[in-house]
Amino acid sequence: MRLFDPHSLSDNNKFHYFCKKSHAMSPVKNKVKFTLTPNIITLSAFIVFSYMLLAVKNGYMLRWYDEMSLFLPDRIFFDSFMNYPGGILRYIGAFLTQLMYYPWLGITILVALWIFMSWVIKLAFSLDGSAYPLTIVAPLLMIATIVQLDEAWLSLNTPGYLFSNTFGFTLSTAALLAYRSIGNPLLRAVTGVIIVATYPLFGFFALLAGVMCIACEAVTITLSRRYGGIAAVVVTIVAIIAVPQLYFRYMPGTTVDNNCLYVKGLPELMMKGWDMYLWIPLIATSLLLVILAATQKLIGEKFKSSKGVNYLTIACAVLTAVYVYSAGQKSEQLRATVLMLYHIDHNRWDNVVNVMSRVKEQPDYNMTLLNNTALIKLGGGANSAIKPRNTPDGNPRKNESFTMTAFVQVPVNYHLGKTNQSYRWAMEHSVKYGKRVYFLKYLVKCALLNDEFKLAKRYNDLLMSTMFHRNWAEHYNRYIENPELMKQSQEFMSIPKLILAD
């Protein structure tokens, strides 16, 4: 058989032959094309929605969440959290809350955590294809826990609230994912007990993970007709009932009472109708995760590719987003009060009056009080003030008198020279709701004006140990070390000497 010899070709044919051969032997370069899949579109829409609602619409509020919190990098501060179920989540949350000093930084961390939460939910419950929009429902509800706070953040004694709920629900879902990866029924039983036994660290979220494991195991038993998992269900139920009681009775140093023991680790909300709007996203997220755990075995390929299911899951995500948006609406009075206090914090009295002049709604007592203070500081007279109003339902979180003492009276009394009154309200709310940067700053300044320099140093040293308020503390530390400098301070010289009249 005669073999083909390319050299026998004419010169022109040789050129075409070797060009084709060279092209055939050259490596093929695969061009990677970016495709906008439904999953990417859904996640991108969630990210845009998060930034618009938090940074753009409610950014002015987030800066105050840092002011109304405190993180201290010492052992005593850490131990104060560890005596409480779920304390480690609150401690981490308190650390991250101080990053709200730069709202865009804090929001970016939150969004990153919610994306991770969505990914964990997708893995744990096999939510892909048509079911994927369900993965962002829980993160959307976490946004609701933040934007709905309004006046409640003044009286909510839950350090790390902005982040701790997200961490807790993500850990519960990850625990279920680990539980499902174990094939041996006896090992699953042991794992269920271990998950619930983390109650001292994670509180309610450890118990929620146990309930999710039970729901998943029960459905698996029903579908497979294999009863080896019954032991896991039984011992996990026993652990859920027993572990919190054992913690309450035998954990040394715990500060927890037996009241509502099984929901410790969730925010310190009132078990009354007044706080129901704050409970709704937490209850809804818990029920969603349990339902997904129970139905995970029923979600097959046909379910994931159904257009009807896709419409249903998109509707769930859209309706949740509508609820979150409506929950984040703030009254113009609250918005104006927060902005006015921000300008007072920077001694920008003209801006306080400007905010008041732009408000279209009827100004409330707090707004009038702040505006009058600004007018006095600018050398004018005060307007007539209306009396503070209480809410018809008696909700203490929305009580205007409470908002006045917790938020408004402290700076107003300070700038009008009534330092004892300012000090009183700052101290009372610090004792009741915990130390906060906002109150510590006025405790320092009031102590300076009262010539109590050792006391001022005690409060100022706490601020010196913070991450972002150290510069403020260093500035006022000059007056503590050299009180004569106060006579050169425009701020201190503008405070009238009315201390004896308190």
pLDDT tens-digit profile, the chain (502 residues): 444 455 555 555 554 554 555 545 445 445 555 566 888 889 999 999 999 999 988 888 888 888 889 999 999 999 889 888 999 999 999 999 999 999 999 999 999 999 999 999 999 998 888 889 999 999 999 999 999 988 888 888 888 999 999 999 999 999 999 998 888 889 999 999 999 999 999 999 999 999 999 999 988 888 877 777 788 889 999 999 999 998 888 876 666 667 788 899 999 888 777 888 899 999 999 999 999 999 887 776 666 667 778 888 899 999 999 999 998 888 888 888 889 999 998 889 999 999 998 888 888 888 888 988 898 888 877 666 666 565 555 677 777 777 777 888 899 999 988 999 999 999 998 888 888 999 999 999 999 999 999 999 999 999 999 999 999 999 999 999 999 999 888 888 888 875 444 4
H or E element that contains 55:
none
Handedness of CA 290, 295, 301, 304 (dihedral sign): negative
Report the alpha-carbon distance of residue 429 to residue 66 in Å, rounded: 16
Q: Which of 270, 262, 268 is nearest to 245 (CA)?
A: 262
Against a cut of 0.85, is the pTM above it? yes
Q: Which of 377, 448, 372 is nearest to 408 (CA)?
A: 372
H or E element that contains 270:
none
Contact in structure between 61 and 330 (CB atoms under 8 Å): yes
DSSP secondary structure string for all residues of 150-216: GGGGGT---TTHHHHHHHHHHHHHHHHHHHHT---HHHHHHHHHHHHHTHHHHTHHHHHHHHHHHHH
Report the alpha-carbon distance of residue 234 to residue 210 in Å, rounded: 11
Following CA atoms 159, 165, 167, 169 in sequence, which dihedral angle do they give, to the nearest 10 degrees?
160
Map tokens 């001292």 to a residue: 200
Tell me, rounded to whole angstroms, the distance of Cα 328 from its chain centroid: 14
Map tokens 């409970």 to a residue: 279
Q: Mark out the alpha helices in 258-403 (DSSP H runs).
A: 276-295, 301-304, 307-327, 332-345, 349-358, 365-377, 400-403
